[in-house]
Amino acid sequence: MADQSHKNALEAWSLAATEHKRAIEALLNQARADGRLEITAETEEYARRAEEAGRKAKAAWERLRATSADPD
């Protein structure tokens, strides 16, 4: 079973990655709406990496939860 502090850290990482992705999406959407941002390849790559990090964090968290579930 995974150490509780490891589980807590992984959960925090997962939540932070998800919130980071949401913040980037909100900023991009607002900038687009205001006409202040032209989406470039660099901007799209940054958003893609944030999305990928969020997916990886969520998958790692789900794997940890599945392997450390208490059998009741």
Distance CA 9, CA 11 (A): 5
Each residue's pLDDT tens digit, 11-51 = 777 778 778 878 888 888 888 888 876 767 777 787 788 77
Spell out a b/e string for 34-62, using b for 16 or more CB atoms within 10 Å of the CB, else e.
Answer: eeeeeeeeeeeeebeebbebbeebeeebe
- Does pTM top 0.85 for this prediction? no
Each residue's pLDDT tens digit, 45-61 = 877 887 787 788 778 87
